[in-house]
């Protein structure tokens, strides 16, 4: 089958309020008898642009609900449905979606539907945290107690004290590891 499919895609997005434009940048399909990354794959690059996109810092595909070729084959790869946020650096952003290969008889991707999320980190939505006078709070968690992680500010003196207190313990642990074999 051709490495690149000519593609006619109808993109139906859940939220029509946004004035962004979504177009197909390129479609790349590869087939192989091997099972490596460079083997069997179908990648569709979407270009998201428009006035609404300019107002945000990040975008991601929230979900892919439908993707079929003109032979009726479902192209959604459940293992590839985890999407990350991509930074919007200009007036547009390109997102790549990996899917299952089309039928060998297919000539176009008939339908593709999904949802995108535009995100702008702020203090109001909890994505930006500012800690005033953090230098005066060494060795304490700077995040709220309910946060799932900790950020601790260490200055030079407590770091040296920690190193001195744990030096003997660390050296003893290192002695328990097997010695490397040099060949």
Q: Say how many C-beta atoms besides its own lie within 10 A of residue 116's C-beta.
A: 22
> Is the pLDDT at 37 greater than 70, yes or no?
no
Mean pLDDT of the chain: 80
> What pLDDT is attached to residue 14?
33
> What is the band of 66 on the pLDDT scale with cuts at 50, 70, 90?
very high
Residue 35 pLDDT class (50, 70, 90 cuts) = low
Residue 141: DSSP 8-state:
B
- The size of the chain, in residues, is 183
The whole-number average pLDDT for the span 9-16 is 34
* Residue of 59, 75, 74, 68 whose CA lies nearest to 20: 59
d(CA 114, CA 46): 12
A 10 A CB-CB count for 27 gives 19
Question: pTM for the full model?
Answer: 0.61
Check pLDDT > 80 for residue 33: no
Question: How far apart are the C-alpha atoms of 89 and 84, rounded to whole Å?
Answer: 16
Q: Which residues does 73 contact at the CB level (< 8 Å), separation at least 6?
A: 100, 102, 103, 106
Say how many CA atoms lie within 13 Å of 44 toward its Cβ: 32
pLDDT band at 172 (very low <50, low <70, confident <90, very high): confident
Highest mean pLDDT among 27-36, 98-107, 158-167: 98-107
* Structure-model confidence comparison of residues 10 and 49, the more confident one: 49
- Structural domains of the chain, with CATH: 10-119 (2.60.40), 134-176 (no CATH)
């Amino acid at each position: 089958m051709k490495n690149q499919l000519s593609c006619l895609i109808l993109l139906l997005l859940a939220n029509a309020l946004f004035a962004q434009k979504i177009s197909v940048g390129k479609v790349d399909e590869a087939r192989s008898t091997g099972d490596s990354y460079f083997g069997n794959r179908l990648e569709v690059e979407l270009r998201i642009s428009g006035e609404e996109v300019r107002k945000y810092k990040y975008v991601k595909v929230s979900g892919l609900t439908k993707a079929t070729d003109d032979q009726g084959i479902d192209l959604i790869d459940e293992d590839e449905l985890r999407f990350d946020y991509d930074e919007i650096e200009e007036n547009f952003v390109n997102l790549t979606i990996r899917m299952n290969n089309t039928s060998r008889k297919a000539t176009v991707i008939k339908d593709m539907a999904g949802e995108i999320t535009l995100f702008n980190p702020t203090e109001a939505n909890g994505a930006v945290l500012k800690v005033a006078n953090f230098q005066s709070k060494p060795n304490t968690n700077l995040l709220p107690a309910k946060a799932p992680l900790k950020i601790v500010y260490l200055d030079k003196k407590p770091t040296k004290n920690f190193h001195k207190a744990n030096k003997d313990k660390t050296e003893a642990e290192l002695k328990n590891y097997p010695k490397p074999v040099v060949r």
